[in-house]
Amino acid sequence: MLLNQGQAAPATPDNLVSDTTAQTFMKDVIEESRTRPVLVDFWAPWCGPCKTLTPTLEKVVRAAKGKVKLVKMNIDDHPQIAQQLGIQSIPTVFAFVNGQPVDGFMGALPENQVAAFIERIAGKTEGGIADVVKTADEMLAAGDAAGAAEVYAQILAEESDNVAALGGLARAHIEAGNTEAAKQTLSLVPKGKENDPGIAAARAALELKEKAASVGDLSALEAAVAANDKDHQARFDLAVALNASGRREEALDHLLTIVRRDRKWNDEAARKQLVQFFEAWGATDEMTVQGRRKLSSILFS
Protein backbone atom coordinates (compact mmCIF):
# COMPACT_ATOMS: atom_id res chain seq x y z
CA MET A 1 0.00 0.00 0.00
CA LEU A 2 1.06 3.65 -0.38
CA LEU A 3 2.99 5.23 2.44
CA ASN A 4 1.23 7.88 4.50
CA GLN A 5 2.14 11.32 3.27
CA GLY A 6 3.08 14.25 5.46
CA GLN A 7 1.35 17.57 5.70
CA ALA A 8 1.85 19.67 2.54
CA ALA A 9 2.81 23.30 2.76
CA PRO A 10 -0.07 25.77 2.34
CA ALA A 11 -0.98 26.15 -1.32
CA THR A 12 -0.26 29.52 -2.88
CA PRO A 13 0.04 30.39 -6.58
CA ASP A 14 3.78 30.96 -6.13
CA ASN A 15 4.67 27.53 -4.73
CA LEU A 16 2.54 25.35 -7.00
CA VAL A 17 4.62 25.87 -10.16
CA SER A 18 8.41 26.09 -10.30
CA ASP A 19 11.49 25.19 -12.33
CA THR A 20 14.11 22.63 -11.32
CA THR A 21 17.63 21.59 -12.28
CA ALA A 22 19.62 18.37 -12.09
CA GLN A 23 21.17 19.71 -8.88
CA THR A 24 17.87 20.57 -7.17
CA PHE A 25 15.75 17.69 -8.54
CA MET A 26 16.10 15.68 -5.33
CA LYS A 27 14.72 18.50 -3.19
CA ASP A 28 12.17 19.89 -5.66
CA VAL A 29 10.71 16.55 -6.77
CA ILE A 30 11.74 13.53 -4.69
CA GLU A 31 11.48 15.17 -1.27
CA GLU A 32 8.47 17.32 -2.18
CA SER A 33 6.57 14.29 -3.49
CA ARG A 34 6.52 12.89 0.04
CA THR A 35 4.11 15.66 1.02
CA ARG A 36 2.03 15.85 -2.17
CA PRO A 37 2.21 14.49 -5.74
CA VAL A 38 4.65 16.33 -8.02
CA LEU A 39 4.26 16.49 -11.79
CA VAL A 40 7.50 16.95 -13.74
CA ASP A 41 7.11 18.60 -17.14
CA PHE A 42 10.09 17.72 -19.36
CA TRP A 43 10.31 20.38 -22.08
CA ALA A 44 12.70 22.33 -24.31
CA PRO A 45 12.53 25.82 -25.87
CA TRP A 46 12.43 24.42 -29.43
CA CYS A 47 9.49 22.08 -28.72
CA GLY A 48 6.25 23.41 -30.24
CA PRO A 49 3.82 21.09 -28.41
CA CYS A 50 5.54 21.99 -25.12
CA LYS A 51 4.41 25.59 -25.61
CA THR A 52 0.83 24.30 -25.73
CA LEU A 53 1.02 21.80 -22.87
CA THR A 54 2.94 23.80 -20.26
CA PRO A 55 0.38 26.64 -19.90
CA THR A 56 -2.38 24.01 -19.70
CA LEU A 57 -0.50 22.16 -16.95
CA GLU A 58 0.03 25.39 -15.03
CA LYS A 59 -3.64 26.32 -15.29
CA VAL A 60 -4.96 22.93 -14.15
CA VAL A 61 -2.41 22.55 -11.35
CA ARG A 62 -3.31 25.96 -9.95
CA ALA A 63 -7.01 25.09 -10.22
CA ALA A 64 -6.33 21.96 -8.14
CA LYS A 65 -5.41 24.31 -5.25
CA GLY A 66 -2.52 22.40 -3.75
CA LYS A 67 -3.47 18.80 -4.45
CA VAL A 68 -0.42 18.54 -6.73
CA LYS A 69 2.63 20.60 -7.61
CA LEU A 70 4.17 21.22 -11.05
CA VAL A 71 7.93 21.28 -11.57
CA LYS A 72 9.35 22.10 -15.02
CA MET A 73 12.68 20.80 -16.32
CA ASN A 74 14.39 22.14 -19.46
CA ILE A 75 16.07 19.02 -20.90
CA ASP A 76 18.43 21.08 -23.06
CA ASP A 77 19.98 22.61 -19.95
CA HIS A 78 19.57 19.52 -17.75
CA PRO A 79 19.45 16.31 -19.83
CA GLN A 80 20.58 13.88 -17.12
CA ILE A 81 17.23 13.13 -15.44
CA ALA A 82 15.39 12.70 -18.75
CA GLN A 83 18.08 10.27 -19.89
CA GLN A 84 17.82 8.27 -16.68
CA LEU A 85 14.05 7.95 -17.14
CA GLY A 86 14.46 6.85 -20.76
CA ILE A 87 12.55 9.81 -22.20
CA GLN A 88 12.92 9.96 -25.98
CA SER A 89 10.34 12.57 -26.94
CA ILE A 90 8.84 15.69 -25.39
CA PRO A 91 6.66 16.96 -23.95
CA THR A 92 6.63 14.16 -21.40
CA VAL A 93 5.12 14.41 -17.93
CA PHE A 94 5.93 12.10 -15.02
CA ALA A 95 4.03 12.09 -11.72
CA PHE A 96 6.02 11.35 -8.56
CA VAL A 97 4.43 10.13 -5.32
CA ASN A 98 6.42 9.23 -2.21
CA GLY A 99 9.69 9.63 -4.09
CA GLN A 100 8.78 7.31 -6.96
CA PRO A 101 7.42 7.86 -10.50
CA VAL A 102 3.93 6.36 -10.54
CA ASP A 103 2.39 7.47 -13.83
CA GLY A 104 2.94 9.69 -16.84
CA PHE A 105 2.01 10.64 -20.37
CA MET A 106 3.57 11.98 -23.57
CA GLY A 107 2.28 14.66 -25.90
CA ALA A 108 0.20 17.81 -25.55
CA LEU A 109 -3.05 16.48 -24.08
CA PRO A 110 -6.12 18.75 -24.04
CA GLU A 111 -7.12 20.44 -20.80
CA ASN A 112 -9.87 17.97 -19.86
CA GLN A 113 -7.48 15.01 -20.12
CA VAL A 114 -4.79 16.83 -18.14
CA ALA A 115 -7.41 17.54 -15.47
CA ALA A 116 -8.44 13.86 -15.40
CA PHE A 117 -4.80 12.80 -15.07
CA ILE A 118 -4.22 15.17 -12.17
CA GLU A 119 -7.43 14.04 -10.50
CA ARG A 120 -6.28 10.43 -10.69
CA ILE A 121 -2.80 11.26 -9.38
CA ALA A 122 -4.26 13.26 -6.49
CA GLY A 123 -6.45 10.26 -5.71
CA LYS A 124 -3.37 8.12 -5.11
CA THR A 125 -2.88 9.98 -1.84
CA GLU A 126 -6.50 10.22 -0.75
CA GLY A 127 -7.22 6.57 0.11
CA GLY A 128 -10.67 5.10 -0.42
CA ILE A 129 -11.35 3.64 -3.84
CA ALA A 130 -7.87 4.64 -5.04
CA ASP A 131 -6.40 2.21 -2.51
CA VAL A 132 -8.77 -0.53 -3.66
CA VAL A 133 -7.69 0.03 -7.27
CA LYS A 134 -4.07 -0.25 -6.18
CA THR A 135 -4.84 -3.53 -4.43
CA ALA A 136 -6.42 -4.88 -7.62
CA ASP A 137 -3.42 -3.69 -9.63
CA GLU A 138 -1.10 -5.58 -7.28
CA MET A 139 -3.22 -8.73 -7.61
CA LEU A 140 -3.06 -8.49 -11.39
CA ALA A 141 0.72 -7.94 -11.34
CA ALA A 142 1.04 -11.05 -9.15
CA GLY A 143 -0.79 -13.15 -11.74
CA ASP A 144 -4.23 -13.32 -10.09
CA ALA A 145 -6.23 -12.06 -13.06
CA ALA A 146 -9.49 -13.58 -11.85
CA GLY A 147 -9.20 -12.10 -8.38
CA ALA A 148 -8.21 -8.70 -9.76
CA ALA A 149 -11.14 -8.75 -12.18
CA GLU A 150 -13.52 -9.35 -9.29
CA VAL A 151 -12.13 -6.37 -7.35
CA TYR A 152 -12.23 -4.09 -10.40
CA ALA A 153 -15.86 -5.14 -10.98
CA GLN A 154 -16.72 -4.23 -7.37
CA ILE A 155 -15.20 -0.78 -7.88
CA LEU A 156 -17.17 -0.27 -11.07
CA ALA A 157 -20.36 -1.25 -9.29
CA GLU A 158 -19.81 1.87 -7.16
CA GLU A 159 -18.21 4.11 -9.78
CA SER A 160 -19.16 2.96 -13.27
CA ASP A 161 -16.94 5.63 -14.89
CA ASN A 162 -13.80 4.87 -12.85
CA VAL A 163 -11.23 4.92 -15.63
CA ALA A 164 -8.50 3.20 -13.60
CA ALA A 165 -10.83 0.30 -12.82
CA LEU A 166 -12.04 0.06 -16.43
CA GLY A 167 -8.47 -0.11 -17.69
CA GLY A 168 -7.57 -2.64 -15.01
CA LEU A 169 -10.57 -4.84 -15.74
CA ALA A 170 -9.75 -4.81 -19.46
CA ARG A 171 -6.16 -5.86 -18.69
CA ALA A 172 -7.41 -8.61 -16.37
CA HIS A 173 -9.63 -9.97 -19.16
CA ILE A 174 -6.68 -9.84 -21.57
CA GLU A 175 -4.47 -11.77 -19.14
CA ALA A 176 -7.22 -14.37 -18.81
CA GLY A 177 -7.52 -14.67 -22.61
CA ASN A 178 -10.99 -13.09 -22.73
CA THR A 179 -10.36 -10.59 -25.53
CA GLU A 180 -14.06 -10.07 -26.31
CA ALA A 181 -14.74 -9.18 -22.67
CA ALA A 182 -11.78 -6.78 -22.80
CA LYS A 183 -13.22 -5.09 -25.89
CA GLN A 184 -16.62 -4.77 -24.21
CA THR A 185 -15.01 -3.21 -21.14
CA LEU A 186 -13.07 -0.69 -23.22
CA SER A 187 -16.28 0.27 -25.01
CA LEU A 188 -17.59 1.55 -21.64
CA VAL A 189 -14.86 4.19 -21.26
CA PRO A 190 -16.47 7.63 -20.90
CA LYS A 191 -16.21 9.97 -23.85
CA GLY A 192 -13.15 12.20 -23.62
CA LYS A 193 -11.15 9.70 -21.56
CA GLU A 194 -10.20 7.34 -24.37
CA ASN A 195 -6.58 8.52 -24.24
CA ASP A 196 -6.18 8.13 -20.49
CA PRO A 197 -2.81 6.38 -19.98
CA GLY A 198 -4.42 3.36 -18.30
CA ILE A 199 -6.95 2.96 -21.07
CA ALA A 200 -4.30 3.46 -23.76
CA ALA A 201 -2.17 0.78 -22.07
CA ALA A 202 -5.07 -1.67 -22.00
CA ARG A 203 -5.89 -0.98 -25.63
CA ALA A 204 -2.26 -1.52 -26.64
CA ALA A 205 -2.14 -4.77 -24.64
CA LEU A 206 -5.28 -5.97 -26.44
CA GLU A 207 -3.82 -5.17 -29.85
CA LEU A 208 -0.63 -7.04 -28.91
CA LYS A 209 -2.64 -10.05 -27.74
CA GLU A 210 -4.46 -10.24 -31.07
CA LYS A 211 -1.27 -9.66 -33.04
CA ALA A 212 0.48 -12.48 -31.15
CA ALA A 213 -2.29 -14.88 -32.14
CA SER A 214 -1.54 -14.20 -35.81
CA VAL A 215 2.26 -14.57 -35.90
CA GLY A 216 2.47 -18.34 -35.48
CA ASP A 217 4.09 -20.85 -33.17
CA LEU A 218 6.81 -19.54 -30.85
CA SER A 219 9.17 -22.50 -31.33
CA ALA A 220 8.85 -22.27 -35.11
CA LEU A 221 9.74 -18.59 -35.03
CA GLU A 222 12.75 -19.27 -32.80
CA ALA A 223 13.89 -21.91 -35.29
CA ALA A 224 13.42 -19.50 -38.20
CA VAL A 225 15.60 -16.85 -36.56
CA ALA A 226 18.22 -19.44 -35.63
CA ALA A 227 18.30 -20.62 -39.26
CA ASN A 228 18.56 -17.11 -40.72
CA ASP A 229 19.86 -14.43 -38.39
CA LYS A 230 19.06 -11.73 -40.98
CA ASP A 231 15.35 -12.59 -41.32
CA HIS A 232 13.91 -9.38 -39.85
CA GLN A 233 10.29 -10.44 -40.29
CA ALA A 234 10.81 -13.70 -38.40
CA ARG A 235 12.65 -11.80 -35.66
CA PHE A 236 9.86 -9.19 -35.50
CA ASP A 237 7.17 -11.89 -35.22
CA LEU A 238 9.26 -13.70 -32.61
CA ALA A 239 9.42 -10.52 -30.50
CA VAL A 240 5.62 -10.23 -30.58
CA ALA A 241 5.24 -13.88 -29.59
CA LEU A 242 7.83 -13.61 -26.82
CA ASN A 243 6.07 -10.58 -25.34
CA ALA A 244 2.79 -12.49 -25.28
CA SER A 245 4.56 -15.29 -23.41
CA GLY A 246 5.85 -12.90 -20.75
CA ARG A 247 9.43 -12.97 -22.03
CA ARG A 248 9.55 -9.20 -22.38
CA GLU A 249 13.30 -8.65 -22.14
CA GLU A 250 13.95 -11.10 -24.97
CA ALA A 251 11.23 -9.46 -27.04
CA LEU A 252 12.83 -6.09 -26.40
CA ASP A 253 16.28 -7.31 -27.43
CA HIS A 254 15.04 -8.76 -30.74
CA LEU A 255 13.32 -5.52 -31.77
CA LEU A 256 16.36 -3.46 -30.74
CA THR A 257 18.50 -5.76 -32.89
CA ILE A 258 16.35 -4.92 -35.92
CA VAL A 259 16.53 -1.19 -35.19
CA ARG A 260 20.30 -1.40 -34.74
CA ARG A 261 20.81 -3.26 -38.04
CA ASP A 262 18.22 -1.49 -40.21
CA ARG A 263 16.15 1.10 -38.40
CA LYS A 264 14.13 1.95 -41.54
CA TRP A 265 13.12 -1.66 -42.22
CA ASN A 266 9.43 -2.00 -43.13
CA ASP A 267 8.70 1.69 -42.46
CA GLU A 268 10.39 1.59 -39.03
CA ALA A 269 8.18 -1.29 -37.93
CA ALA A 270 10.52 -2.39 -35.13
CA ARG A 271 10.69 1.06 -33.56
CA LYS A 272 6.92 1.46 -33.79
CA GLN A 273 6.41 -1.95 -32.21
CA LEU A 274 8.70 -0.96 -29.35
CA VAL A 275 6.60 2.16 -28.77
CA GLN A 276 3.48 -0.02 -28.55
CA PHE A 277 5.24 -2.31 -26.08
CA PHE A 278 6.13 0.71 -23.93
CA GLU A 279 2.54 1.95 -24.02
CA ALA A 280 1.18 -1.47 -23.00
CA TRP A 281 3.78 -1.94 -20.23
CA GLY A 282 3.30 1.55 -18.78
CA ALA A 283 5.47 4.66 -18.71
CA THR A 284 7.23 3.83 -15.44
CA ASP A 285 7.62 0.07 -15.90
CA GLU A 286 11.24 -1.06 -15.46
CA MET A 287 11.33 -2.66 -18.91
CA THR A 288 9.86 0.47 -20.51
CA VAL A 289 12.50 2.69 -18.91
CA GLN A 290 15.26 0.25 -19.89
CA GLY A 291 13.91 -0.11 -23.41
CA ARG A 292 13.59 3.63 -24.00
CA ARG A 293 17.12 4.16 -22.80
CA LYS A 294 18.51 1.49 -25.14
CA LEU A 295 16.41 2.69 -28.08
CA SER A 296 17.56 6.28 -27.56
CA SER A 297 21.20 5.21 -27.50
CA ILE A 298 20.71 3.56 -30.90
CA LEU A 299 18.68 6.32 -32.51
CA PHE A 300 20.84 9.19 -31.32
CA SER A 301 24.28 7.58 -31.48
204 is a catalytic site residue: no
Query: Across the chain, which distance is largest between two alpha carbons, in Å?
Result: 65
149 is a catalytic site residue: no
The answer to whether 271 and 67 have CB atoms below 8 angstroms apart is no
Long-range contacts, 218-225 (Cβ 8 Å, 24+): 218/242, 218/245, 225/254
**Alpha carbon distance 172, 182 (integer Å):** 8
One of 40, 50, 155, 270 is an active-site residue; which one? 50
Long-range contacts, 125-133 (Cβ 8 Å, 24+): 125/2, 125/5, 125/36, 125/37, 125/97, 129/155, 129/158, 129/159, 129/162, 130/164, 131/1, 131/2, 133/162, 133/164, 133/165, 133/168
One of 40, 47, 109, 208 is an active-site residue; which one? 47
By annotation, the residues acting in catalysis are 47, 50
